[in-house]
Chains A and B, each alone.
Chain A
Amino acid sequence: MIKKLLSWLASPLGKIGLLILSLIVISGAVWGIGQTQTVPEQPIDFPHSLHVGLGVQCLYCHPGSLKGPVSGLPTQTKCWGCHQQIAKTKTSALLAPLVQAVENNQPIQWVPVAMVPDFVRYNHRPHIAAGLNCEDCHGDVSKMTVYENPQVLNMGWCLNCHVEQAGEDEEKLIRLTDCGTCHY
């Protein structure tokens, strides 16, 4: 049985079959990896570039990062605070989901993009307190429409910065590279 299969694989038809099979496997893997790198679709194609360009501060819509772990995603009331005074809001097709959300009092289901896995406990506050700016981790948002991560948010990336921050201070290094700092 196995001998028969091996001799068939050695034949020209078998080689072509093998080639097709490996192509399917490779393209499947590429598609799968690509899926993890694509930005999820948002309910509104929110143009960060436009808002930041108009001078809106990051902390106006994401105020949680100053005080606690989660920066927060704005509710429709926050959007409406400015947008109800803008005439274009009622006519723009892009803003239709916002108008609908406000009229029906339904939340906008933003999809969080800058996420860490469940076994990582991230807190914005100490990072801001350490003098980091939003763009140090989130990239230059003024050039993005829909937000996407400028780099993969993995542990090596976190630790590189933690080690750098500690510098020569051994006590700080122990504190910043302790497993319990992020994992519990």
Chain B
Amino acid sequence: MANLDKESAVSVNLTNPEEGKWGMVIDRDLCTGCQACVAACAMENNLAFVGEELSGNGRSMHWIRIERFWEGEYPEVKATPFEPTMCQQCGYAPCEPVCPAYATVHSQDQQLNLQVYNRCVGTRYCGNNCPYQVRSFNWFDYERPEPLNNQFNPDVTVRRRGVMEKCTFCIQRIKRAEDTARAEGREVADGEFAPACAQACPANAIVFGRVDKPETVVSQLAKQARGVKRLEELGTFPHVTYLKAG
């Protein structure tokens, strides 16, 4: 199946899943763990506010989170650097084959993992099968008390109860940039737009762009020796590269 996809992608001159189209580079040395990306993502993508109690029950909803691990035994513990973790937009995503409703599908056009909300029936198989644990589930219809309803982004679906959701690499911004570029009869320029997290990052730790074009900033950064993919051994071909501490 995987090889078939690659062949068909090559045959029509599209990017292949292993290489990807859009990608991200996150520099762990630069990230200060300030959570600006988390806030920006929630605002951009109409994320619900689940509240303290539900968060405590493990039902928090974030498309991006700042991950940090403790290494060693107490009291000799050492914290790892901050790692903003969002959907890695795998080339061969473990979430996709387990969906019985084809709600999470691979976009051959954008090489992203899509979540089609109107197809999702809420089995949560995808969330359980995601090695990065980046999917969140709408357990309830969450309230947006006045005046929060005024800050909805009209370009993003407001998800209802019983639907899985995850980072989309801000596909609405990708689409808008592509549409503008097409209207002006040109290609999307490198750095012309960025997802909300990359835009909000005060340390410029998150860089976004085309990974299939060698001249882009993100491709240059990803090629560095410090670049690592997370859980690479699983063969998921994630499109987010982390630059580990020198």
A123–B155 alpha-carbon span in the complex (Å): 10
- Take A119-B157, A180-B171 as given contacts and tell me if A171 and B14 are in contact as well, using a CB distance cutoff of 8 Å: yes
Chain A, interface SS category: helix
Chain B, interface SS category: loop
Contact check, B182 vs A180: say whether CB atoms are below 8 A apart: no
Number of interface residues of A (CB under 8 A): 18
Number of A-B contacts defined by CB within 8 Å: 58
Contact check, A178 vs B13: say whether CB atoms are below 8 A apart: no
| Residue from A129, A171, A181, A183 in contact with B183 in the complex, judged by beta carbons closer than 8 Å | A129
Contact check, B118 vs A117: say whether CB atoms are below 8 A apart: yes
Decide if A51 is an interface residue (CB 8 Å cutoff): no
Q: Nearest residue in B to A117 (C-beta to C-beta)? A: B118
Give the chain B neighbours of A179 by CB distance below 8 A: 105, 107, 114, 116
Give the chain B neighbours of A174 by CB distance below 8 A: 12, 14, 108-109
- Take A121-B172, A123-B179, A184-B172 as given contacts and tell me if A178 and B107 are in contact as well, using a CB distance cutoff of 8 Å: yes
Give the chain B neighbours of A41 by CB distance below 8 A: none
A181–B182 alpha-carbon span in the complex (Å): 14
A171–B107 alpha-carbon span in the complex (Å): 13
Give the chain B neighbours of A129 by CB distance below 8 A: 182-183
Those of A112-132 within 8 Å (CB) of chain B: 117-119, 121, 123, 125-126, 129
Give the chain A neighbours of B182 by CB distance below 8 A: 126, 129
CB distance from A177 to the nearest CB of B (A): 9
Contact with B along A157-182 (1 / 0, CB 8 A): 00000000000001100110011110
24 residue pairs from A and B, CB less than 8 Å apart: A118-B158, A119-B118, A119-B157, A121-B155, A123-B175, A123-B179, A126-B179, A129-B182, A129-B183, A170-B12, A171-B14, A174-B14, A174-B108, A174-B109, A178-B107, A178-B108, A178-B109, A178-B114, A179-B105, A179-B107, A179-B116, A180-B114, A184-B114, A184-B168
Interface residues of B (CB under 8 A from A): 11-14, 105, 107-110, 112, 114, 116-118, 155-158, 168, 171-172, 175, 179, 182-183
